[in-house]
Amino acid sequence: MRPLEIRLSAAIVVAAAVVFLGLAPLRDDPGVVRFPVVLAVIAAIAVAAMWTRVRVAALVAVGLLALVHTVITLGALPWWVRVASGVLAAAHMYVVILLLTGPARAHFTGVPND
């Protein structure tokens, strides 16, 4: 059984991807949907890396998602897109912190956490 930190991290990454995909059609530009799909693929890679115990890939993918959402937050977009991306950036940073905890480290290394 995977530790709570890994399950919670995966749930947050999946939920964030679903929220960002759901916000895309609310904008009037039809070309806007492609970018959230790319981020959803990166999120899927992050979750797969968490499940298969590839720590570096999980951290890089989630860090990239946090960076992208931070850049969106600082961009010249409608206020509601920037607020949503700010919340998603914070959620992804929380996932990075969760992946650096002792139980997550034990999950990735296979060494019991004592």
> pLDDT digits over 17-43, tens only?
999 999 888 877 777 888 899 999 999
Q: Which residues have C-beta within 8 Å of that of residue 99, sequence separation ≥ 6?
A: 5, 6, 9, 50, 55, 58, 59, 62
When divided into structural domains, the chain yields a total of 1
Q: Is 109 helix (H, G, I), strand (E, B) or coil?
A: helix
Instruction: Report if residue 113 sits inside a domain.
Output: no
Evaluate if pTM is beyond 0.85.
Answer: yes
Give the other-Cβ count within 10 Å of 42's Cβ. 17
Confidence label for 5 from pLDDT (cuts 50, 70 and 90): very high
Asked whether the predicted pLDDT for residue 114 surpasses 60, the reply is no
Instruction: Report if residue 50 sits inside a domain.
Output: yes
Q: What is the full DSSP assignment across 52-88? A: TT-HHHHHHHHHHHHHHHHHHHTSSS-HHHHHHHHHH
Q: Give pLDDT tens digits for 54-95.
A: 999 999 999 999 999 999 999 988 899 899 999 999 999 999
Residue 39's domain spans which residues? Answer: 4-108
